[in-house]
Amino acid sequence: MLFNEIFSEFTVWLRDVPLTQSDSHTSRVVKEALRERLDRDNSVAVRRHSVYHCGCYNPLIENNNYSFQPESDEAMPTQLIRILGTALTALTGVICNAALAAEVNVYSSRQEALIKPLLDRFSEQTGTKINLVTGKGDALLTRLRSEGMNSPADILLTVDAGRLYRAEEAGVLQSVSSELLMSEVPGHLRDPDGQWYALSVRARAIVYAKDRVDPAELSTYEALTDSTWEGKVCIRSSGNIYNQSLIAGMIATEGEAAAESFATGLVANFARPPQGGDRDQIKAVAAGQCDVAIVNSYYLGGMINSGDAEQQAAAAKVGIFWPNQDGRGTHVNVSGAGVTKSAKNTANAVKLIEFLANDESQRWYAETNNEYPVRDGIPVSEVLAAWGTFKADEVPVSELGRLNADAVKVMDRAGWR
């Protein structure tokens, strides 16, 4: 009778008490719901020791050994004692583990404003606490490597396939299998071994001065090496991962010789030594320092939607063009995430990445960040819609990372600084 009553109470407790309660609350409830009920019956005495297991008070543990201590063999059959002790210990362990696992530690190279709203939404929907650490992509990778298996990070979230590949090569990520991610993220936008998955897509487009350039004059990246554009091209330095991936993509599709020819010709047409970020290239076009620039499209979207009048004015002076539409398509790259090898909360980490790949999150990326969803059929922002659709290069983005070192060498030989 006692056995059934205790399990009945345990069922009610499991049903009514959220597993995300703090450890102190769990400790109190376990005491009140179990030990007091057992102690009311003179047949069983549970030793009272403040022993903690997996960060959670477990009244069935003494010196890390699971045991009930019957006052006499007649008080309760030995077999029932063992069954009850094992069952309650297992259930308490599940509760402890669930309480501890109800959090995910995220290392993110994305600006907090561009990811935290989604993380907060995940927490609201699941009750899982997200601990967010933001920093530069390369710095976070260095930190992960130095921390090793002691790292608290469960997820690395970063931008550019080149950085994701570096993390994979550094051995800080692990392969995860998710049917949802396999179905929602196209094959060319994820690691073949499941170590990382793309969560958004960004296109590296050409922006041009509306008052000086007829878009009919534009066609491909390679065409910017023509003498027509001498002294008219702006772009970031070769140290920028976005440009390295652009060249890596060319190596993958056109070969190293063609990529080097492009890089050499582009350098010859620079309007100025490479400097600044992508927004600076757009501002340079607007200011007349150059006529065209190669930039990630979401920077232009951010300037259009900016509350800064100067950025809005600069954005209004340029147009956007999708190159290579009659060939391989416009170069695209990704932001993405992977589960770290040191992850202590693997299951919830996978659930978070799945959440970031779902329709709701993909819409948010498109509407708020002016990035493209990883798959078709997701509505985009008014800004992206106004730019029209384009053919994207479908080279596996993992190749951008694999060929990164070759791309850097090509750029060095071309004199791209």
173-216 confidence digits (pLDDT tens)? 999 999 999 999 999 999 999 999 999 999 999 999 999 999 99
The reported pLDDT for the residue numbered 78 is: 52
What is the location of CATH 3.40.190.10 in the chain? 105-200+333-379, 201-331+405-413
Residue partners of 411: CB distance under 8 A and separation at least 6: 238, 243, 244, 247, 263
Inform me whether the pLDDT recorded for 24 exceeds 60: no
What mean pLDDT comes out for the span 245-266? Answer: 98
Lowest mean pLDDT across 42-56, 157-171, 248-262: 42-56
pTM: 0.77
Inform me whether the pLDDT recorded for 14 exceeds 70: no
Residue partners of 139: CB distance under 8 A and separation at least 6: none
CB 367 within 8 A of CB 224: no
The reported pLDDT for the residue numbered 56 is: 40
The reported pLDDT for the residue numbered 102 is: 86
Instruction: Give the model's confidence band at 297: pLDDT under 50 very low, under 70 low, under 90 confident, else very high.
Output: very high
Instruction: Give the model's confidence band at 9: pLDDT under 50 very low, under 70 low, under 90 confident, else very high.
Output: low
CB 152 within 8 A of CB 349: no
Q: Which amino acid is at 27?
A: S
The reported pLDDT for the residue numbered 114 is: 87
Q: Which amino acid is at 139?
A: A
Lowest mean pLDDT across 41-50, 133-142, 156-165: 41-50
* CA dist., res. 211 & res. 217, Å (int): 13
CA angle 373, 173, 133 (to 5 degrees): 70
Q: Give 84 or 334, the one with higher predicted confidence.
A: 334
* CA dist., res. 374 & res. 365, Å (int): 10
Pick the CATH number of 105-200+333-379 from 3.40.190.10, 3.30.530.20, 3.30.70.100, 3.40.50.300: 3.40.190.10
What mean pLDDT comes out for the span 121-133? Answer: 97
344-347: long-range contacts, CB 8 A cutoff, minimum separation 24:
344/101, 344/152, 344/154, 345/100, 345/101, 345/103, 345/104, 345/105, 345/154, 346/154, 346/174, 346/176, 347/101
Provide the b/e sequence for 138-157 (b: ≥16 CB within 10 Å): eebbebbeeeeeebebbbbb
List the CATH code of the domain at 201-331+405-413: 3.40.190.10
What mean pLDDT comes out for the span 354-370? Answer: 95
